[in-house]
Amino acid sequence: MKIIEASQKYRIEMEKVLKKDRFDHTLGVAYTAANMAFVFDEDIEKAVIAGMLHDCAKCIPHSEQIKICKKYGVELTDIEMRNQKLIHAKAGMCLARHKYDIDDPYILDAIRYHTTGRPDMTKLDKIIFTADFIEPNRKMLKDMDVIRKEALSDLDRAVYHILKNSLDYLGSQDDEMDPMTIKTYEYYAKIVNTDN
Amino acid sequence: MKIIEASQKYRIEMEKVLKKDRFDHTLGVAYTAANMAFVFDEDIEKAVIAGMLHDCAKCIPHSEQIKICKKYGVELTDIEMRNQKLIHAKAGMCLARHKYDIDDPYILDAIRYHTTGRPDMTKLDKIIFTADFIEPNRKMLKDMDVIRKEALSDLDRAVYHILKNSLDYLGSQDDEMDPMTIKTYEYYAKIVNTDN
């Protein structure tokens, strides 16, 4: 598929199922991921598709997201059942596979892990995880200007920086933290510190 | 204005007046410009607005574009009258000012010069000129992978590289070259060669 065909196909699909702000966020993620693909020699079409679809389940009620995961045999953890806004990543992977016909596991994994990350992420995982955080429509969180530069020059450092700030932020909130986020942070802290 | 408000406002306006491919190109330019703004410390909102509006006159007939320029006292050169696809940049500047109420001359200039460039461009001029060439929906022209990396690391070199390739390409076509393109090329050739 030409990249403009992928851009159009999933843009049109996402505008049908996402609320307005979420749709513009999605465009921001898809094109930020494409720009990161320029820098880090990733497949641009895969970056656009994963970016366009990463939140495809976000505007569906949590109860429906749970049903989608059950239907396709994707298990949910106790923490996901207690903090249900985490579920959209797994439900999104299911919809990407079965509603939007994406059969590339590399794209599906990037959607599945875009919220928590995972240790030893693929390049596309890291791009979508990072693009989701930095895209231009996001409000200016702590260190955003620095992280945005890192995202286009040093991908592991950007991933580490986002995880560090997210853990600091989540530590001050009531939401329960997903242990995968902590594992991912520990993995990238080691990589970034080894690099120094 | 929050950046997401600017994204939405001009996205909605452009979808009304642009053909489908041109609209997706426009989204690509706006978000590529925003990513370049991350790297080069440019105002992100101005990059988004200039990117969204840069081709706002593109899908209007040339005869109408000429009338718009006349109405607002913007002179057209003999070359523009012979190669009328060049006119959309000046007509776009007029519409940005008078239809979309942009009064920031920095944004208006970036729209006006996005096709030919000009010597000693502003940072925003360079970002829009470059984003227009590299955005993800563009087909893979010669050296595109190299130029896309330069665009996110060395802006003057990207501008030079685009101009050089455009002059090589235009030299092999029947279209008459705008002398501004040649002047801009000569200016950036000197800068890039001085840097080495």
User: Is residue A160 included in any domain, yes or no?
Assistant: no
Q: Which residues of A touch B136 (CB under 8 A)?
A: 3, 7, 31, 34-35, 37-38, 44, 48
Is the ipTM reported for this complex over the cut 0.95?
yes
Q: Tell me whether A34 touches chain B (CB under 8 Å).
A: yes
Confidence band (pLDDT; 50, 70, 90) for A196?
A: low
User: Is residue A177 included in any domain, yes or no?
Assistant: no
Please give the single-letter amino acid code of residue A3.
I
CB A44 within 8 Å of CB A102: no
Which pLDDT score, from 0 to 100, does residue A169 have? 83
Searching chain B, which residue's CA lies closest to the CA of residue A145? B38
Searching chain A, which residue's CA lies closest to the CA of residue B44? A136
Which pLDDT score, from 0 to 100, does residue A172 have? 80
User: Is residue B155 included in any domain, yes or no?
Assistant: no
Q: Which residues of A touch B24 (CB under 8 A)?
A: 4, 7-8, 11
CB A19 within 8 Å of CB A59: yes
Distance from CA of B58 to the nearest CA of A (A): 18
Residues 6 or more apart whose CB falls under 8 angstroms from that of B170 comprise B177, B181
Confidence band (pLDDT; 50, 70, 90) for A1?
A: confident
Sequence-ordered alpha helix ranges (H) in chain B: 3-17, 20-40, 44-53, 62-71, 78-82, 88-98, 105-112, 123-134, 144-151, 155-171, 179-195
CA distances from A17 to A28, A116, A152, B113 (A): 16, 23, 30, 38
Residues 6 or more apart whose CB falls under 8 angstroms from that of A115 comprise A86, A88, A89, A132, A178
Q: Which residues of A touch B37 (CB under 8 A)?
A: 136
Q: Which residue has the tokens 């898809």?
A: A30
Confidence band (pLDDT; 50, 70, 90) for B171?
A: confident
User: Is residue B169 included in any domain, yes or no?
Assistant: no
Q: Which residues of A touch B27 (CB under 8 A)?
A: 7, 11, 27, 31
Mean pLDDT, rounded, for B111-128: 98
Three-state secondary structure of A70-122: HHCCCCCCHHHHHCHHHCHHHHHHHHHHHCCCCCCHHHHHHHHCCCCCCCCCC
For residues A139 and A119, give the distance between their C-alpha atoms in angstroms, rounded to a whole number: 27
Distance from CA of B145 to the nearest CA of A (A): 7
User: Is residue A51 included in any domain, yes or no?
Assistant: yes
Rg (CA), chain B: 16
Q: Tell me the torsion sign for CA atoms A103, A4, B26, B138.
A: positive
Mean pLDDT, rounded, for B162-174: 87
Mean pLDDT of chain B: 96
Write the CATH number for A90. Answer: 1.10.3210.10
CB A49 within 8 Å of CB A14: no
Q: Tell me the torsion sign for CA atoms B94, B99, B101, B102.
A: negative
Mutate which of A12, A19, A20, A35 to disrupt the B interface (most B C-beta within 10 Å)? A35
Q: Which residues of B touch A27 (CB under 8 A)?
A: 7, 11, 27, 31
Mean pLDDT, rounded, for B97-107: 98
The string of DSSP codes covering B143-174 is THHHHHHHHTT-HHHHHHHHHHHHHHHHHTSS
pLDDT, tens digit, 9 for 90 and up, residues A21-45: 999 999 999 999 999 999 999 999 9
CA distances from A7 to A16, B135, B186 (A): 15, 12, 36
pLDDT, tens digit, 9 for 90 and up, residues A175-185: 788 999 999 99
Is A153's CB within 8 Å of B151's CB? no
User: Is residue A166 included in any domain, yes or no?
Assistant: no
Which pLDDT score, from 0 to 100, does residue A117 have? 98
Which pLDDT score, from 0 to 100, does residue B196 have? 59
What range defines the domain where residue B17 resides?
3-141
Of chain B residues 64-93, which have a CB less than 8 A from chain A?
Answer: none
Mean pLDDT, rounded, for A140-153: 96
Mutate which of A1, A2, A4, A127 to disrupt the B interface (most B C-beta within 10 Å)? A4
Q: Tell me whether B149 touches chain A (CB under 8 Å).
A: yes
Which pLDDT score, from 0 to 100, does residue B22 have? 98
Confidence band (pLDDT; 50, 70, 90) for A191?
A: very high
User: Is residue A127 included in any domain, yes or no?
Assistant: yes
**From the centroid of its chain, how far is CA B67?**
21
Distance from CA of A98 to the nearest CA of B (A): 26
Q: Which residues of B touch A25 (CB under 8 A)?
A: 4
Query: Which of these, A128, A184, A178, lies nearest to A161 by C-alpha position?
Result: A184
Count the domains in chain A.
1
Confidence band (pLDDT; 50, 70, 90) for A171?
A: confident
Searching chain A, which residue's CA lies closest to the CA of residue B1? A137
User: Is residue B61 included in any domain, yes or no?
Assistant: yes
For the packed helices A3-17 and A20-40, what is the interaxial angle rounded to 10 degrees? 150
CA distances from A102 to A49, A56, A65, A114, B168 (A): 9, 12, 18, 16, 40
Please give the single-letter amino acid code of residue B144.
M
Q: Tell me whether A4 touches chain B (CB under 8 Å).
A: yes
CB B135 within 8 Å of CB B26: no
- With 0-12 / 13-18 / 19 or more C-beta atoms within 10 angstroms meaning exposed / middle / buried, residue A17 is middle
pLDDT at B177 over 90: no
Mean pLDDT, rounded, for A127-134: 98
| Size of the A and B interface in Cβ pairs below 8 Å | 92
Searching chain B, which residue's CA lies closest to the CA of residue A44? B136
pLDDT, tens digit, 9 for 90 and up, residues B36-46: 999 999 999 99
Which pLDDT score, from 0 to 100, does residue A174 have? 75
CB B37 within 8 Å of CB B95: no
Residues 6 or more apart whose CB falls under 8 angstroms from that of B74 comprise B90, B91, B93, B94
Report percent pLDDT > 90 for chain A: 91
